[in-house]
């Protein structure tokens, strides 16, 4: 259904989901503040926060958009051996494997230039890559599950899957980064 272009109608369509997502994100903020001391001690880690969250969300939303299109075109079947599923999953992991080493190096370099990095570049790259690959695998599972659920409940994956996947991946981004930092440091 088409939303009317009035402030009231737009707000009515947007606010409930927006407020639920805001509360979910407060959850990830609480995880973040639980390792605030480590983050404030190491500028490289603080630099990693928005980019890790954002990239995790983007990996999920790119995959969701592709699966949704394949679903509409009828080229997707929910069979574990499906070519479109495996190919897209492989591309997601491949994208993470390409981008996260550069993100780690970039975060260390920028922290070193601006605040003075306290961690070694190797540590920061290791944290970025481990978090990134873990997040890619999780993004694949979350997106497959959400797309399959949309299909089973006969919802249009375009409307539901992308916002759900993006925000779930945001939260997972913080949780995974936290886990990896605790394991490594």
Nearest approach, Cβ of residue 78 and other proteins (Å): 15
Distance between CA atoms of 25 and 143, rounded to whole angstroms?
18
What lies within 8 Å, CB to CB, of 138 at 6+ separation is 169, 172, 176
Cβ-in-10-Å burial (0-12, 13-18, 19+) of 113 comes to exposed
Neighbours of 77 (CB within 10 A): 12
Comparison of 14 and 184: residue with beta carbon closer to other proteins: 14
Question: For 40, phi and psi rounded to 5 degrees?
Answer: -75, -25
The pair of structure tokens assigned to 11 is 């707000």
Closest contact distance (angstroms) between CB of 132 and other proteins is 10
Closest by Cα among 178, 170, 176, 177 to 24: 170
| Binding stretches for other proteins (CB under 8 A) | 3, 5-7, 10-11, 14-15, 17-19, 21-23, 25-26, 28-30, 32-33, 36, 39-40, 43-44, 46-55, 57-59, 61-63, 66, 83-84, 86-88, 90-92, 94-95, 98-99, 102-103, 106-107, 110-111, 114-115, 163, 166-167, 170-171, 174
Give the residue with the Cβ less far from other proteins, 63 or 127: 63
Give the nearest distance from C-beta 182 to other proteins in angstroms: 17
Nearest approach, Cβ of residue 149 and other proteins (Å): 20
**C-alpha span between 185 and 179 (Å, rounded):** 10
Closer CB to other proteins, 61 or 134, in the complex: 61
Considering beta carbons, is residue 100 or 152 the nearer one to other proteins? 100
Q: Which is nearer to other proteins, 20 or 155 (CB)?
A: 20
């Amino acid at each position: 259904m088409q939303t009317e272009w009035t402030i009231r109608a737009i707000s009515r369509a947007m606010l409930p989901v927006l407020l639920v997502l805001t509360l979910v994100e407060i959850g990830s903020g609480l995880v973040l503040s639980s390792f605030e001391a480590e983050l404030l001690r190491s500028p490289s880690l603080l630099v990693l926060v928005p980019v890790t969250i954002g990239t995790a969300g983007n990996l999920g939303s790119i995959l969701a958009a592709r699966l949704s299109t394949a679903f509409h075109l009828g080229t997707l079947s929910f069979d574990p051996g499906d070519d479109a599923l495996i190919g897209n999953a492989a591309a997601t992991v491949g994208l993470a494997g390409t981008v996260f080493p550069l993100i780690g190096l970039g975060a260390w370099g920028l922290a070193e230039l601006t605040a003075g990095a306290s961690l070694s570049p190797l540590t920061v790259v290791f944290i970025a890559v481990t978090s990134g690959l873990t997040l890619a695998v999780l993004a694949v599972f979350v997106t497959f599950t959400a797309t399959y659920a949309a299909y089973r409940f006969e919802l249009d994956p375009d409307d539901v899957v992308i916002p759900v996947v993006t925000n779930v991946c945001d939260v997972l981004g913080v949780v995974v980064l936290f886990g990896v930092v605790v394991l490594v440091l």
